[in-house]
Amino acid sequence: MLSIIQAAGWPIWPLIVCSILALALVIERFVSLKTSRIAPVRLLDEALRVAREAVPIPDVVNQLEKSSAMGEVLASGLRALNANPRCAEQDLRATMEGAGREVAHRMERYLSALATIASAAPLLGLLGTVIGMIEIFGSQSPTSGANPAQLAHGISVALYNTAFGLMVAIPSLIFWRYFRARVDAQLLTLELAAERFLRHINTLRRAA
């Protein structure tokens, strides 16, 4: 591996940095976007059961908020009712939508960075290719002819950087699309859960 890096020359170092960053972002997103952290399977049913007859006390709401991203959204509505039991339905919906936007922002964090790496890596590889071609043409001498060592080095710089740029860009693009689709699916789950919970709360308030 070290011999490949040496043969590729200095243009490969930005690509190595991009590959390390991309790997770190992929690992971080896998951990942060786990279902247990975003929308646990039974959390909505448990929240509906707890709020079946009355709005839970603040301690229960705090526990719900700390459980997951879905818990934050549901707890925001309960906290608004604890603060003002007569708040309008529009205000309650706006409060939960605001909490949902904050959760969505956290879920989408670093995805733009991963997309940037996927776009920039081929360009960095192309830069290395151009630099290698410059070295190839620079090795040509009108008096002594081509310098085989410089010619071989220029070809190595061009080909290694092109290949490494694609090796960084392709997985980054694949993971970006995967996480983008995963976030969209989880946001839809949160939206549907919040809507169902809001209807339950409004039914509970009308019955009280």
Q: Which sequence spans correspond to the domains of the chain?
A: 2-207
Q: What is the pLDDT of residue 57?
A: 86
**pLDDT classification of 5: cutoffs 50, 70, 90:** low
Distance CA 165, CA 18 (A): 9
- Sign for the CA dihedral angle at 60, 203, 42, 100 comes to negative
Provide the CB-side half-sphere exposure for 104 (13 A, CA).
13
Report percent pLDDT > 70 for the chain: 87
Helix axes 111-138, 148-207, angle to 10 degrees: 170
Q: Name the band, by pLDDT with cuts 50, 70 and 90, for residue 8.
A: low
The tens digit of pLDDT for each residue in 131-163 reads: 878 777 766 655 555 566 667 767 777 788 888
Which pLDDT does position 63 carry in this prediction? 92
| DSSP-assigned beta bridge partners for residue 141 | 145
- For residue 97, name the pLDDT band (cuts at 50, 70, 90): very high
79-98 b/e (C-beta count within 10 Å ≥ 16 → b): bbbeeeeeeeeeebbebbee
Task: Read off the pLDDT of residues 66-95 as tens digits, 9 standing for 90 and up.
Answer: 999 999 999 999 998 888 888 888 998 999
pLDDT digits 0-9 by tens, 16-31 = 999 999 999 999 999 9
Question: Using one digit for the tens of pLDDT, what is the confidence trace for 182-199?
Answer: 999 999 999 999 999 999
The pLDDT value given to residue 141: 56
d(CA 179, CA 184): 8
> Residue 204 in contact with residue 143, Cβ under 8 Å?
no
pLDDT value of residue 33: 95
CA atoms of 26 and 28, how far apart (whole Å):
5
- Start-to-end CA distance of the chain, whole Å, equals 70
Q: What is the pLDDT of residue 140?
A: 60
**What tens digit of pLDDT does each residue of 104-114 get?**
999 999 999 99
pLDDT above 70 for 12: yes
